[in-house]
C-alpha cells in the first residue's frame, strides 16, 4: 500500500501531512516534557497555552475583533442547531432560515422544537441545486436573526456573497470556515464543526458576539449556555483537548501558507480545474447551478448510476478515494478543502478525462 493517497472525503477530511506528523509525535511526548499531549491535564500550563494559541490564531486568521468570543465546544455542529435558538430566542420568538440543504433542514427542525422558525426560502424543489440571492425572499419583521449555511456540503452549493439583512446573521460554516476572508460584523454567531476544514472531529468552534451571551433564558441548563463556556474560556468542563490542539496546528499551518486570503486563491484554482473539466464535456454534469457552485465540495453526475459506481471504484483503485456522493443525492462529490493538495485535483481531472475516453 502507498503511504498516502488522495482522500476526497467530505469529513472527517484530509489534514496537512505535516500536521499529522507533528500530532503523532506530540501524542507520545508533548514538547519533550515526558507526557503525551492527550495525557495532559486541561488545567496544566502546557495545555492552557495550547488552547490559548489555537484561539488567538483563529482570531488572527479570521480578523475577529475582541467583542466576539471564540468557544471550543463539543456535541458537533448538530448540537448548535438547538443551542443557537435556545440561547438567542425566547420560546415565543422566531429565527428566519434559508433552506438550502440537509444541514439547513436539520437546523430548522431543531429551531421549531425550541422556538419558532420562519423558512423564508427553500431550494428543495430543485434538489437544492442553488442558494438564493438577497431579493429572492423576505425576512419577517419580528425575526431575531437570519440563519444560513454558508456552504452546503452535500449538494455542493455555496453562498458566493453572504446575505445582506438588517437582522443579525447566524451561519453554519462547518464546511468552509477559514476558506475565504469575510467581515464578521454583520454576524451575531458563526459556528463550525472542525472535521471538514479545520481539524479532527470532536470540537465545534463557536464565534459569538459578546452582547448575546446574556440572552439565554433562566431555565436553560448550564452546559447548553454559551455564557457558561465563554466565562470559563471553554474550560468549564474537560474540553476536547486533542481536537483543540490539532485545530491549533492546522491554524499554524494555514498562517504559514499565507493565511485565509492566500488559501482562497488556491481554493479557487483547485475548484476551477474541476469545474472547467465538467463544463468541457457532456459526460460529466455538475449538480449545482453555476452561480451557486461550491469551492469546497464539487458535486457531479455521470450518464448512469452504473457508470458512477464504476468511476468511483476505479478512481479509488487509482489512489483517488472518497468520491462517492452523499446517499441523499448519489452521484459523485470531490471535497477539496483547504488542506487538500492541488496535485490531487490535477490527478482527478486526468483520471476523469481517461475515464471518459474509455467509457464515453
CA–chain centroid gap for 296, Å, is 9
List 87, 175, 228, 267, residue binding ligand PLP (CB under 6 A): 175
| Pick 174 or 234: Cβ nearer ligand PLP | 174
Query: Is 251 one of the binding residues for ligand PLP (CB under 6 A)?
Result: no
Query: Is 78 one of the binding residues for ligand PLP (CB under 6 A)?
Result: yes
Cα atoms in the Cβ-side hemisphere of radius 13 Å centred on 274: 33
d(CA 60, CA 53): 10
| Pick 30 or 191: Cβ nearer ligand PLP | 191
How does DSSP assign 324-356, residue by residue?
A: BPPTTT-SEEEE--TTS-HHHHHHHHHHHHHHH
List 54, 61, 149, 296, residue binding ligand PLP (CB under 6 A): 149
List 172, 188, 225, 244, residue binding ligand PLP (CB under 6 A): 172
| Pick 9 or 359: Cβ nearer ligand PLP | 9
Query: Is 14 one of the binding residues for ligand PLP (CB under 6 A)?
Result: no
The minimum distance between CB 28 and ligand PLP, in angstroms, equals 27
Query: Is 84 one of the binding residues for ligand PLP (CB under 6 A)?
Result: no
Closest CA to 131 of 169, 161, 165: 161
Residues in the interface with ligand PLP (CB under 6 A) total: 12
List 96, 122, 143, 153, residue binding ligand PLP (CB under 6 A): 153
Contacts of 183 (CB under 8 A, 6+ apart): none
Which helix (H) or strand (E) segment holds residue 270: the answer is helix 259-279
Q: Which stretch binds ligand PLP (CB under 6 A): 20-28, 72-80, 130-138, 303-311?
A: 72-80
User: In terms of DSSP H, where are the helices of 40-75?
Assistant: 45-62
Query: Is 11 one of the binding residues for ligand PLP (CB under 6 A)?
Result: yes
Query: Is 196 one of the binding residues for ligand PLP (CB under 6 A)?
Result: yes
* Dihedral over Cα of 162, 185, 63, 37: its sign: negative
The minimum distance between CB 117 and ligand PLP, in angstroms, equals 16
Q: Catalytic residue positions?
A: 103, 172, 196
C-alpha cell at 175: 464546511
| Pick 40 or 104: Cβ nearer ligand PLP | 104
Query: Is 174 one of the binding residues for ligand PLP (CB under 6 A)?
Result: yes
List 27, 42, 76, 359, residue binding ligand PLP (CB under 6 A): 76
Contacts of 336 (CB under 8 A, 6+ apart): 8, 267, 270, 271, 274, 295, 296, 297, 298, 344, 345
| Pick 22 or 112: Cβ nearer ligand PLP | 112
d(CA 37, CA 215): 36
DSSP 282: S
Name residue, grid cell 495525557: 39
Residues in 93-112 at the binding interface with ligand PLP, rule: CB under 6 A: 103
| Pick 157 or 228: Cβ nearer ligand PLP | 157
| Residues in touch with ligand PLP (CB under 6 A) | 11, 76-78, 103, 149, 153, 172, 174-175, 193, 196
Amino acid at each position: 500500500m502507498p503511504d498516502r493517497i488522495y482522500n476526497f472525503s467530505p469529513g472527517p477530511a484530509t489534514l496537512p501531512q505535516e500536521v499529522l506528523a507533528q500530532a503523532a509525535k506530540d501524542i507520545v511526548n508533548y514538547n519533550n516534557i515526558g507526557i503525551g499531549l492527550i495525557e495532559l491535564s486541561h488545567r496544566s500550563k502546557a495545555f492552557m497555552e495550547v488552547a490559548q494559541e489555537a484561539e488567538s490564531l483563529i482570531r488572527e486568521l479570521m480578523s475577529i475583533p475582541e467583542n466576539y468570543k471564540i468557544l471550543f465546544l463539543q456535541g458537533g455542529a448538530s448540537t448548535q442547531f438547538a443551542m443557537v435558538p435556545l440561547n438567542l430566542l425566547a420560546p415565543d420568538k422566531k429565527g428566519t432560515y434559508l433552506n438550502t440543504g440537509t444541514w439547513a433542514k436539520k437546523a430548522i427542525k431543531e429551531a421549531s422544537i425550541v422556538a419558532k422558525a420562519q423558512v423564508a426560502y427553500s431550494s428543495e424543489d430543485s434538489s437544492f441545486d442553488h442558494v438564493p440571492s438577497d431579493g429572492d425572499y423576505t425576512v419577517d419583521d419580528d425575526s431575531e436573526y437570519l440563519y444560513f449555511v454558508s456552504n452546503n456540503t452535500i449538494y455542493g452549493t455555496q453562498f458566493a456573497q453572504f446575505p445582506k439583512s438588517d437582522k443579525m446573521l447566524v451561519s453554519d460554516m462547518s464546511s468552509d470556515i477559514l476558506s475565504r476572508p469575510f467581515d464578521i460584523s454583520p454576524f451575531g454567531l458563526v459556528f463550525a464543526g472542525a472535521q471538514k476544514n479545520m481539524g479532527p472531529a470532536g470540537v465545534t468552534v463557536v464565534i459569538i458576539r459578546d452582547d448575546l451571551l446574556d440572552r439565554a433564558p433562566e431555565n436553560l441548563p448550564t452546559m447548553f449556555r454559551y455564557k457558561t463556556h465563554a466565562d470559563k474560556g471553554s474550560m468549564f468542563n474537560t474540553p476536547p483537548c486533542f481536537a483543540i490542539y490539532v485545530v491549533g496546528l492546522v491554524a499554524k499551518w494555514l498562517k504559514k501558507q499565507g493565511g485565509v486570503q492566500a488559501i482562497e486563491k488556491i481554493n479557487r484554482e483547485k475548484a476551477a480545474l474541476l469545474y472547467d473539466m465538467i463544463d468541457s464535456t457532456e459526460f460529466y454534469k455538475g449538480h449545482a447551478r453555476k452561480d451557486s457552485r461550491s469551492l469546497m465540495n464539487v458535486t457531479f453526475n455521470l450518464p448512469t448510476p452504473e457508470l458512477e459506481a464504476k468511476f468511483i471504484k476505479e478512481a479509488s483503485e487509482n489512489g483517488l478515494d472518497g468520491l462517492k456522493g452523499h446517499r441523499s443525492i448519489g452521484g459523485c462529490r470531490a471535497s477539496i478543502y483547504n488542506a487538500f493538495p492541488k496535485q490531487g485535483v490535477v490527478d482527478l481531472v486526468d483520471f476523469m478525462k481517461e475515464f471518459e475516453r474509455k467509457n464515453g
